[in-house]
């Protein structure tokens, strides 16, 4: 269990800003209650932004995501794991390949696929079992695009809904990539380069210009 409590290169729970964030938001009398409060803090205080430079390691690092106030699914999952560890709650990151049925045609064309590999989420050890928590989409974004917000009670897995508010097919889980005590950034970047060569080369500024 110790690797899931120690500070790491990307789940850097010992970073002063991460520790302060955790102390500020970890409310409650039990690990479960504290984990839930941390989940909502990461979900809604850190804006979801998929238009990042994925060649930059900081996109995957908890403290960098906190400093920027924004991140994509992997970075936000790393931040939740780091904040949980700072509160003494064992945490790790998990990954899955998902198909987003609501991907815009423009994004799908540039990516060459509607398959999103290495979608990231957090796994928290609560009440003697591992529970999945997905803090990716902040509430404001969900309301804007009529995507059902993901709630978390610390007991049931919180993963993407299959349908949105209008009963359109949304997210489909296709393949598990496993769980890790730290974000396997080199592995993820290599997979992104191979799967999305055009999108990976865009970088943050070009992606915002293309899709923003």
- Confidence bin at 201 (pLDDT 50/70/90): low
Please report the pLDDT score of residue 25 as a whole number.
98
**How many CB atoms sit inside 10 A of residue 104's CB?**
11
Which pTM does this prediction carry? 0.90
Please report the pLDDT score of residue 73 as a whole number.
95
Mean pLDDT taken over the chain: 88
Using CB atoms within 10 Å of the CB of residue 167, give its burial: 0 to 12 exposed, 13 to 18 middle, 19+ buried.
exposed
Average pLDDT rounded to a whole number, residues 22-26: 98
Pick the CATH number of 2-204 from 3.10.620, 3.30.40, 3.30.70, 1.25.40: 3.10.620
**Per-domain boundaries in the chain:** 2-204
Average pLDDT rounded to a whole number, residues 72-91: 97
Contacts of 203 (CB under 8 A, 6+ apart): 53, 55
């Amino acid at each position: 269990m110790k690797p899931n409590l120690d500070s790491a290169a990307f789940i850097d729970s010992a970073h002063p800003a991460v520790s302060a964030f955790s102390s500020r938001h970890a409310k409650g009398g039990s690990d479960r209650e504290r984990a839930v409060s941390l989940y909502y803090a990461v979900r809604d205080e850190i804006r979801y932004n998929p238009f990042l430079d994925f060649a930059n390691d900081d996109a995957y690092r908890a403290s960098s995501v906190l400093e920027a106030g924004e991140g994509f699914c992997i970075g936000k999952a790393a931040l939740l794991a780091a904040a949980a560890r700072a509160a003494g709650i064992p945490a790790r990151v998990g990954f899955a390949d998902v198909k987003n049925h609501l991907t815009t045609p423009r994004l799908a064309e540039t990516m060459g696929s509607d398959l999103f590999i290495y979608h990231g989420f957090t796994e928290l050890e609560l009440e003697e079992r591992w529970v999945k928590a997905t803090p990716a989409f902040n509430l404001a974004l969900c309301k804007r695009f009529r995507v059902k917000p993901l709630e978390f009670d610390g007991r049931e897995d919180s993963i993407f809904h299959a349908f949105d508010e209008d009963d359109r097919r949304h997210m489909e889980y296709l393949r598990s990539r496993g769980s890790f005590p730290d974000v396997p950034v080199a592995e993820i970047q290599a997979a992104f380069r191979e799967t999305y060569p055009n999108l990976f080369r865009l970088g943050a500024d070009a992606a915002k210009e293309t899709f923003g």
